[in-house]
Amino acid sequence: MRRGKLVVGNWKMNGGLEANASLLVALLAGWTPSAERSLAVCAPFPYLGQVRDALTGSKLAWGAQDLSPHSAGAYTGDVAGAMIAEFGCRYVLAGHSERRQLHGETDALVAAKAKAALAAGLTPLVCVGETLAERDGAGWQTVVGRQFDAIAAALAADLARVVLAYEPVWAIGTGRTASPAQAQEVHAFLRQRLQKSSAEAVQVLYGGSVKAGNAGALFAMPDVDGGLVGGASLDAVEFLAIAGA
Ligand code: PEP
């Protein structure tokens, strides 16, 4: 059975103690929990304690934006899933396109990170998506299919425990959103692959310049189970409007 819609804010490398406090207060004041809609924010590592203190006991969940594939050891600067879990996180992003592009993360590394997240009791929110050059070249089916297959092969039956996010790279932070039909086409493709692996209950979120003005049409698509929201998640009014769309 499919679950309700999930909207997750990715703060990226933005925020500060003061700005976060105002944002969290506004989210807590404005969010009306419902059985059909869930809301979460993914904050930079240094702020996970602040987010935990603000959101504990509320209906808002929180998470981190990356994790190490390793559980502990000589990995200077890295953060293990168990450390993130200690801060009450439910989610952690894995394979965001900015990690894939700026840090050279491969499909195999993303799959290892998703596995490490599950081992730490976290829900990995695994991102897939093609660049414009890939869409025009090999085609999104080839790229998204390859990214999905790497995760499915590594996780096997545990694939049912992840959240997927389709984020076309050409739509992230560009103001250029996939049309609802374009998003639905890719989500249906992912759903079909999930069904083949008996993981059809997995939520598949759309990400890429989601705003209050386009969220309703995107979320109305039958295979779009919510959104992963970057820039617009830093504005409480806009983010709440997206969450309610
Ligand atoms: C993201 O960071 O995952 C994202 C989708 O960003 P934006 O909403 O700003 O395009």
The pLDDT tens digits of the residues spanning 71-91 come to 999 999 999 999 999 999 999
Domain with residue 201: its CATH number is 3.20.20.70
The two three-digit tokens of residue 183, written as one number: 């998003």
- Closest by CA to 127, choosing from 103, 94, 105, is 94
The pLDDT tens digits of the residues spanning 38-64 come to 999 999 999 999 999 999 999 999 999
Residue 236 lies in a domain: no
| Residues whose CB falls within 8 Å of the CB of residue 18, separated by 6 or more in sequence, listed in order | none
pLDDT, position 174: 86
Q: How far is 124 from 67, CA to CA, in rounded Å?
A: 10
Residue 166 lies in a domain: yes
Residue 239 lies in a domain: no
pLDDT, position 43: 98
Catalytic status, residue 167: yes
Query: Which range marks the domain in which residue 143 is found?
Result: 5-36+45-228
73 CA to middle of ligand 1, Å?
Answer: 32
Residue 234 lies in a domain: no
pTM, to two decimals:
0.97
Residue 245 lies in a domain: no
Residue 191 lies in a domain: yes
Residue 241 lies in a domain: no
pLDDT, position 2: 65
- Identify which has the larger pLDDT, 245 or 12: 12
Q: Which residues line ligand 1 (CB under 6 A)?
A: 10, 12, 167, 172-173, 207-210, 228-232
Catalytic status, residue 105: no
Of all residues in the chain, the percent with pLDDT exceeding 70 is 99
- Quote the number of domains for the chain: 1
Residue 237 lies in a domain: no
166 CA to middle of ligand 1, Å?
Answer: 11
